[in-house]
Structure 1
Amino acid sequence: MNQEHIEAVRLSPEDKQRMSASAMRDLLRLVIAQGLALLIVSLLAWVFSGVWAGLSAFAGGMTYLIPTSMFVLHLVLRLLSKRDATAVTFFVGEAIKIGVAMILMYLVVEVFGPNLVWPAFFIGLLVVLKAYVLLLVFKKL
C-alpha cells in the first residue's frame, strides 16, 4: 500500500482571526434564524389554532433554542479567547446541549400538562432544529 505523508496546514494569525470572525458571524446568524423562525411558527400556531398551540410551538422550539444558544455562546467565547477548539470540546458540548434539551422537554410536558398541543410542540422543535436550511438556501451560511 502506498502511503503518502500528509503535512498539517499552518495558518497565520491573520488567517485564524479571519476564520474565527467568520465562524462567529455564522454561529450568531444560526441562532437568529432559529429564533425568527420559531417566532413566526409560534404566531401562526396561535392565530390558526389558539393560544395553547402558539405557546406549545414556542415551548417546543425553546427546548432546543436555549441549549443551542448556550453552546453558541460557549463557542464564541472560546473563539474570542483565541483558544483552539478541539473535537472533544465540540462533542462534549453537543452532548450537554442534547441533555439540557431533553430536560427542558420534560419540564415543558410537566408544566403544560394536558394543555400541551403535541403537534404544535413538535413543529416548533422541528423548525428550530432545521432553521439552518433557511441560511443554506439564502447562502448566508
Structure 2
Amino acid sequence: MTPQERARMNARAAKGLVNLVLAQSAMLLIAALASWLVAGGYAALSALAGGLIYLIPSSFAALHMLVKIYSQANAGALTFFWTQALKIGGTLALLALVVRFAGTYLVWPALLVGLVVVLKGYVLLLVLNKLR
C-alpha cells in the first residue's frame, strides 16, 4: 500500500468515526426532546442519561482509534478488542452509577430508549447515505 493510499484510508476512517459520534449525539438529542414532549422533564433527563451511558465510552473509543490512526501506530485486532471491552465496561459502570444515584427519579423506559437510540446511531448515517 502506498503512503497516499494509506493516508486516504486513514482520512476516510477518521471521518467515519467522527460522523458516527455526531450521529449518536444527534439521535440522543432527538430522543431526549421526544421524551420531554411525551412524558416530561424526568423522562427527558432519563433519556439523556441513558444515551450518555453509551455515548461517553463510545466517544472515548473513537478518540482512541483516532489517536491510533494519526499517530501511525499499528492498530491491530487486539487493540480493537480491548477498546471494545473498555467501552462495554465503561457503559456498564456508567449504568450502575446512574441507577445508584438517580433513584426514584429515573424513568426506565426513557433511559432504555435513550440507550438504544444512541446504540443505533449508525442508522442515521445509513439513512443519510454517509456510511460507506
Q: TM-score range by the shorter chain?
A: over 0.9
Which amino acid is the alignment partner of residue 90 of structure 1? F
CA drift of 1:70 comes to: 0.2
1:82 aligned counterpart, secondary structure: coil
Gaps of 5+ in 2: none
Tell me which residue corresponds to 2:12.
22
CA drift of 1:137 comes to: 2.2
Query: Under a length normalisation based on structure 2, what TM-score does the superposition of the two structures give?
Result: 0.97
Counting matched residue pairs gives 131
Which amino acid is the alignment partner of residue 50 of structure 2? G
Tell me which residue corresponds to 1:131.
121
**1:85-122 CA distance string (max 9 Å, x none):** 10000011000000000000000001110111000000
Among candidates 70, 75, 88, match of residue 65 of structure 2: 75
Query: Where has structure 1 moved over 4 Å in runs of 4 or more?
Result: none
Q: Which moved more, 1:62-71 or 1:130-139?
A: 130-139
More helix by share: 2
Tell me which residue corresponds to 2:50.
60
Q: Once the two structures are aligned, what percentage of the paired residues are identical?
A: 49
Gaps of 5+ in 1: 1-10
Q: Distance in 2 between matches of 1:137 and 1:84?
A: 32
Q: Distance in 1 between matches of 2:101 and 2:110?
A: 16
Q: Distance in 2 between matches of 1:56 and 1:68?
A: 19
Q: Distance in 1 between matches of 2:30 and 2:96?
A: 24
Tell me which residue corresponds to 1:8.
none
Bigger radius of gyration, 1 or 2?
1
Which amino acid is the alignment partner of residue 110 of structure 1? R
What is the CA RMSD across the aligned residues, in angstroms?
A: 0.7
Tell me which residue corresponds to 2:111.
121
